[in-house]
Structure formats: structure tokens, C-alpha cells
């Protein structure tokens, strides 16, 4: 009599299952065409982020950190591989669904801020909420409170040109938090700040994200910021290595 091998039961996973990760990237490759040459920036990397986690990504200039963050934030597409937020593969979502994900579930802080020059600090901060048609008094109240928390309570009416680089960076941070996203992706969010202000801003972002069971990914060149992360990934040769667990 032959024994039948029993497979001990992992529950069946649907292809887009998140396995508990809020954000998961698998086998991600990203190449850019430059004439007849191909620049391979990301070369089959894997990444995962869980609820309540703070993860830092470090790596040399040009290694692909911003490229990766844009892909994680559904601002750019992979060449091959998958990225899923709460088990939903971006590649399966319509343009309208992706817009909604970006607007409501992800707070993105761009490396170069991208504030709208004709609007004040307060308006720049509340625009994401306005797009979601939240009532004006609530928009103003939340944006004011966020700007106060990042030390800009006296700068609400300033346009970006009348703000310092570090102040613009903090407005970009307040804007990213406006819709209370589940995941904040921040590209060098303390790069223009002194050490003390940088740590204070990090304390604040953590209080609004990982401290609330949400998640934070920071790209940084600052070892003092990376030292506070739950995990640190190094991006090198198009792949991520974990350097701290």
C-alpha cells in the first residue's frame, strides 16, 4: 500500500493576495530607453510593508530610490513585476481606480516638493481634501492644524516663493497627510531640514502614520533618520538588501 502524501494546508492564496502586507512589490524591474540603449534601474526587486511599520530606503544617488518610490506610489509603472496595495495589483486597476488610490490611500512627498506656486501654504495643503469634496471649514481646520504641527502656523498665507526650502518641504508633508492616508511615501522629506527640525518632523509623521497603525516609507541619506526605522533597505545594483531587521 502506498501512502498518499498529504499537503499540509496553507490556505489557498489568490494571485493578488497581500499575505498581510499593506504594500508588496515582487520581481519589479524598471528600465528606461535611451536611444538604442536600455538603462536598467530596478532589476527584479522585492519589497514589503506592513501596517504600523516605518521602513527606510537608503542608497547612492542615482541608484533608483525615487524611481522605486514612484512605482510604489502608483505614479509610475513597472517594466515587469507586480505592485499591490492591500492585495490589489495596480496593473488590474483602471485609471480612475488608480486616481482614487493615489488620492485617498497614499500620501506622497516628492523629492522636489512640487507645490503649486500660485497657491498659499494653506491652500497647497488642503487641495487633496478639496479634490475629495470635503467641506471648506473642515479643510481649513485640518490644513491649519497640520501646518501648525510642522511649525508653520505663522506662514499659512505664504506662497511657496516666500517660503524657505525647509518650509516648503514641511508644507509638502502637511499636504501628504491631508487625507489621512494608510501609507505615506516620503522622498528625502528631511533633506532640507536641520537635524533637530528633521527629527521633530519625523516624530510628527510617525505620530500620524506608524503610531496609528499606518505605514511610512522614507527615502533618506540621513543615518539618524534611518536609525529610527523598523527596517532599513539598501538599494544597490537594482535590488534591495535588508540591513536592519
Instruction: Give the interface with Mg ion as residue ranges (CB under 5 A).
Output: 65-66, 111
Select from 32, 77, 80, 132 the one that contacts ligand ATP (CB under 6 A): 32
Rounded CA-CA distance 34/41 in Å is 12
Q: How many Å from the N-terminal Cα to the C-terminal Cα in the chain?
A: 48
Instruction: Write down the least CB distance from residue 185 to ligand ATP, Å.
Output: 13
Residue 130 DSSP SS3: helix
Cell reading at 184: 505615506
- Number of residues located near ligand ATP, criterion CB under 6 A: 12
Q: Percent helix, strand and coil across the chain, each rounded to 5? A: 35, 25, 40
Residue 35 has φ and ψ, to the nearest 5°, of 65, -125
Range in contact with ligand ATP (rule: CB under 6 A) among 20-28, 65-73, 222-230, 237-245: 65-73
Q: Does 39 bind ligand ATP (CB under 6 A)?
A: yes
Task: Kindly state whether residue 234 participates in binding ligand ATP, applying the rule CB under 6 A.
Answer: no
Q: Which is nearer to ligand ATP, 66 or 215 (CB)?
A: 66
DSSP state of 22: S
Report the length, in residues, of the chain: 245
Q: Which does 112 bind (CB under 5 to 8 A by kind): Mg ion, ligand ATP, none?
A: none
Stretch that binds ligand ATP, among 14-22, 61-69, 140-148, 207-215 (CB under 6 A): 61-69
- For residue 10, what is its C-alpha cell? 496553507
Binding range to ligand ATP, per CB under 6 A, among 9-17, 57-65, 86-94, 95-103: 57-65
64 binds, among ligand ATP, Mg ion, none (CB under 5 to 8 A by kind): ligand ATP
CA–CA distance, 204 with 198 (Å, rounded to integer) = 10
- Interface residue with ligand ATP, options 62, 95, 154, 161 (CB under 6 A): 62
Query: Cβ of residue 82: shortest distance to Mg ion, in angstroms?
Result: 23
Comparing CA positions, the residue from 111, 104, 241 lying closest to residue 180 is 104
Q: How many CA atoms does the CB half-sphere of 3 hold within 13 Å?
A: 3
**Residue 64 interacts with ligand ATP (CB under 6 A): yes or no:** yes
Place of cell 505605514: 215
**Residue 112 or 116 with smaller CB distance to ligand ATP:** 112
Span interacting with ligand ATP, options 2-10, 60-68, 129-137, 154-162, rule CB under 6 A: 60-68
Question: In which element (H, E) is residue 41 found?
Answer: strand 37-49
- What are the residues facing 108 on neighbouring strands? 185
Binding site residues, ligand ATP, CB under 6 A: 32, 39, 41, 59, 61-67, 111
Amino acid at each position: 500500500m502506498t501512502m498518499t502524501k498529504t499537503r499540509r494546508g496553507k490556505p489557498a492564496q489568490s494571485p493578488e493576495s497581500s499575505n498581510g502586507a499593506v504594500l508588496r512589490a515582487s520581481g519589479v524591474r524598471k528600465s528606461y530607453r535611451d536611444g538604442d540603449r536600455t538603462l536598467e534601474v530596478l532589476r527584479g526587486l522585492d519589497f514589503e510593508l506592513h501596517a504600523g511599520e516605518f521602513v527606510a530606503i537608503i542608497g547612492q544617488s542615482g541608484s533608483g530610490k525615487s524611481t522605486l518610490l514612484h512605482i510604489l506610489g502608483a505614479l509610475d509603472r513597472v517594466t515587469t513585476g507586480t505592485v499591490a496595495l492591500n492585495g490589489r495589483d495596480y496593473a488590474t486597476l483602471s485609471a480612475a481606480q488608480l486616481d482614487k488610490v493615489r488620492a485617498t490611500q497614499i500620501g506622497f512627498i516628492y523629492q522636489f516638493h512640487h507645490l503649486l506656486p500660485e497657491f498659499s501654504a494653506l491652500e497647497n495643503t488642503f487641495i487633496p481634501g478639496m479634490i475629495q469634496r470635503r467641506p471648506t471649514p473642515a479643510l481649513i481646520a485640518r490644513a491649519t492644524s497640520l501646518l501648525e504641527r510642522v511649525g508653520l502656523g505663522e506662514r499659512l498665507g505664504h506662497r511657496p516663493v516666500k517660503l524657505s526650502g525647509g518650509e516648503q518641504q514641511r508644507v509638502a508633508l502637511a499636504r501628504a497627510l491631508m487625507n489621512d492616508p494608510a501609507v505615506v511615501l516620503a522622498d528625502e522629506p528631511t533633506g532640507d531640514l536641520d537635524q533637530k527640525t528633521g527629527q521633530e518632523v519625523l516624530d510628527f509623521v510617525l505620530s500620524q502614520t506608524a503610531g496609528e497603525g499606518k505605514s511610512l516609507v522614507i527615502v533618506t541619506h540621513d543615518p539618524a533618520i534611518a536609525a529610527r526605522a523598523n527596517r532599513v533597505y539598501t538599494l544597490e545594483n537594482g535590488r534591495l538588501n535588508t540591513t536592519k531587521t
